[in-house]
Amino acid sequence: MIIPLSDGLLRIRQPELEHLRLTHLVSGLDDDSGSPAHACGAGIALSGYTEWVCPAQPRLSLGWDWQLEGTASPPRIRRLGLPRTNVLLLDRDRAALPWNESLQVLANFIDGFNWNTPAFRAVCERYAA
């Protein structure tokens, strides 16, 4: 059961996360124009953001930052920090979890599905032109 309230947050019971189907909305690179230029041949730190939505009801949004792990073979991106969202999770008694606990459960949910490939592909397509 989704419980929208006037504060703009969607309240969702934890077990309902399993049934959510998220769709990639947008991914991009962080603007690093303020950072010093890297020396030729030096490693770079590539980071960005990704946003995912549920196109059906409930209209929820999950976004998070990521960073390229260039030393991994093959290179991959991984989530950084906690997500940004309009979702607050409820426990079994339908009481709201503390905000940071809710975000951590959502972070674990994010880590459980293949967002990396579509997000990185979208970044490559967006910036390759």
Q: What is the pTM of this model?
A: 0.83
Q: Which residue has the higher pLDDT, 78 or 128?
A: 78
Q: Which residue has the higher pLDDT, 80 or 21?
A: 80
pLDDT of residue 37: 53
H helices within 45-112, ranges in order? 99-111
pLDDT of residue 72: 75
Q: Which helix (H) or strand (E) holds 116?
A: helix 116-128
Query: Please, what are the domains in the chain?
Result: 10-30+45-128 (3.10.450.610)
Query: Which token pair is 124?
Result: 């490559």
Residue found by looking up tokens 């030393």 in the block:
71
Q: What is the pLDDT of residues 27-83, one digit of tens each?
A: 999 986 445 555 565 556 789 999 999 987 768 899 999 999 877 777 789 999 999
pLDDT of residue 76: 82
Q: What is the pLDDT of residues 92-113, one digit of tens each?
A: 899 999 999 999 999 999 999 9
pLDDT of residue 59: 81
Decide if 35 contacts 46 (C-beta within 8 A).
no
